[in-house]
Amino acid sequence: MSVTERDLLIIVTVFILSISLFLIPCDAFRHKPKIDTIYQFGDSLSDTGNLIHEKPTGADLPIAHYPYGETFFRKPTGRSCDGRLIIDYFAQALGLPLLNPYLVKSDFKHGVNFAVSGATALNTSFLSNRGISQLYTNSSLEVQLEWFKTRLQSRAKKRLDRALFIVGAIGGNDYSFATIANKTAKETMELVPLVIQKHKEIIGKLIDLGATRVVVPGDLPSGCSPSFLTSGVTNDTSAYDEYGCLISGNKFSAYHSGLLQRALAELRTTYPHAVILYADLYTTFLNLIKNADNLGFGKENMLKACCGTGGAYNFDFPRLCGTVGLPVHVCPNPDMRVSWDGIHLTQKAYSLMAESLIRDLFPKLM
Ligand SMILES: *[C@@H]1O[C@H](CO)[C@@H](O)[C@H](O)[C@H]1NC(C)=O
Ligand SMILES: *[C@@H]1O[C@H](CO)[C@@H](O)[C@H](O)[C@H]1NC(C)=O
Ligand SMILES: *[C@@H]1O[C@H](CO)[C@@H](O)[C@H](O)[C@H]1NC(C)=O
Ligand SMILES: *[C@@H]1O[C@H](CO)[C@@H](O)[C@H](O)[C@H]1NC(C)=O
């Protein structure tokens, strides 16, 4: 190698080194987390403690009592689960602390959870005009949006470009309360487009306020839930699918989720600058059932609640899990069940679903 060649090599090396030194701070900046805040709206699939802090009855509800929380928090937190929910796994995957519930005024530096168990997508006045009464809370999606606006005003920095918004799942209570109010299947079905319209309206308002990343979960297949299986039990074997789920319930959930996806496509056209993603709870849940064996779920108890009182699906309304005064019936290993209390899922089920959703959605958010 000639001197000039070596000199050239040194010059080039020094040049490359200085460029990389120059790039380090830049690069570090680029890898700063793009999401540092989460705002969650919804119902008991995502509530981390709001409903049990609503007066006057929240603290008396079953979810405020043992064995809720037994697996992870070792005490009831207001989550409708034995442990963590999908939103908890999302926060952890982003390196953020678990989201604090809005009604427990505390640290909201990394976001707020506005979800309330029992909340409906449609508002109180609208539902009560149709003879449907709210059973647990009046904190519908619109109320949760107002809470968010209040929260936004009290923030010094109002930019939302590092915030992730999760709107839902919500709507399941609108349908359940309609059924409890003896509405016909047709009347309940007619609520679906209204529930989806409400999603659209709220998401639009959030984007107008500055949201740029929105994840919107659809419905779980309700025909596989012990509560639905119990109320809809029939001797007609053709009413069930190969996994033992009621086809009518799953069809209903698929209808909701299909209309929701169509609404999201419309929103993407209206707001091309925003990332609006559909979170497919329906398929993700069915994958748990299909792969039960590999995932460690007990196949014979696949559709049975872990915590509950009797019946073919270990679910008996109103003898719900956590009801004060009833003996506690809880399965020895919740990790082997998909359903925790007949309505909500176990931590194990949520963790597996979250894993799959994170793999699917997070790359599109960064
Ligand atoms: C309730 O919802 C209905 C239907 O979406 C809407 O027209 C009405 O303005 C809402 N009422 C309140 C008080 O927000
Ligand atoms: C909802 O609001 C109505 C009217 O203000 C009130 O009578 C009812 O008690 C509230 N329900 C709940 C569960 O807070
Ligand atoms: C619904 O129907 C059942 C049985 O007929 C009745 O016991 C119940 O009171 C009704 N519920 C409402 C909210 O009307
Ligand atoms: C199913 O069939 C059994 C025996 O024929 C009957 O006793 C029972 O009431 C039926 N159940 C339903 C939900 O139709």
Which residues' Cβ are closer than 6 Å to ligand 2?
A: 124, 134, 136-138
Q: What is the pLDDT of residue 33?
A: 60
287 falls within a domain: yes
332: in domain? no
From the CA of 122, give the closest atom in ligand 1.
Answer: 2
- Does 309 reside within a domain? no
Structure tokens given for 288: 């748990």
Residue 15 lies in a domain: no
Q: What is the CATH number of the domain that holds 105?
A: 3.40.50.1110
pLDDT in tens, 81-136: 999 999 999 999 999 999 999 999 778 889 999 999 999 999 999 999 999 998 89
Calculate how far, in angstroms, residue 299's C-alpha sits from the geometric centre of ligand 4.
25
What is the distance between the alpha carbons of residues 150 and 201, in angstroms, rounded to a whole number?
18
Ligand 1 atom showing the smallest separation from residue 124 Cα: 1
pLDDT grade, residue 157 (50/70/90)? low
How far apart, in Å, are the Cα atoms of 171 and each of 33, 90, 155, 298, 321?
32, 21, 30, 30, 22
**Residue ID of nearest Cα to ligand 2 atom 3:** 138
> Both tokens of residue 180?
């409890």
pLDDT of residue 259: 98
Domain that holds residue 253: 34-293+341-364
> Does position 23 have pLDDT exceeding 90, yes or no?
no
Count of structural domains, the chain: 1
Q: Does 179 reside within a domain?
A: yes
Contact status, residue 158 vs residue 152, Cβ threshold 8 Å: yes
Centre of ligand 2 to C-alpha 139, Å, is 10
60: pLDDT strictly greater than 60: yes
Q: Is the peptide bond before 101 cis (omega within 30 degrees of 0)?
A: no
Ligand 1 centre to CA of 337 (Å) is: 39
Q: Is residue 346 part of a domain?
A: yes
